[in-house]
């Protein structure tokens, strides 16, 4: 897929996607001046970015979710 397609799939602007690629967070491939990504690599990045229960506790105003 193109970098613009991958960025749209991830909900990112292309510049942020390029930063993720440059930092090694997502695999990409260069063919001349063209950057391409495999769907499986984008899917793997999504899976690796999954938020685990309790990881967002610091975002609650009082430190605890409303359901506690």
Q: pLDDT per residue over 42-60, tens digit each? A: 999 999 999 999 888 888 8
pTM score, whole prediction: 0.77
Phi, psi of 34 (to 5 degrees): -100, 135
> Is the predicted pLDDT of residue 29 greater than 80, yes or no?
yes
Residues 7, 17 contacting (CB under 8 angstroms): yes
């Amino acid at each position: 897929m193109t970098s613009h397609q991958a960025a749209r799939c991830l909900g990112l602007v292309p510049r942020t996607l390029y930063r993720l690629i440059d930092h090694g967070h997502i695999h990409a491939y260069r063919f001349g001046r063209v950057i391409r990504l495999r769907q499986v690599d984008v899917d793997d990045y999504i899976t690796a970015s999954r938020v685990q229960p309790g990881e967002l506790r610091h975002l609650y105003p009082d430190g605890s979710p409303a359901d506690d």
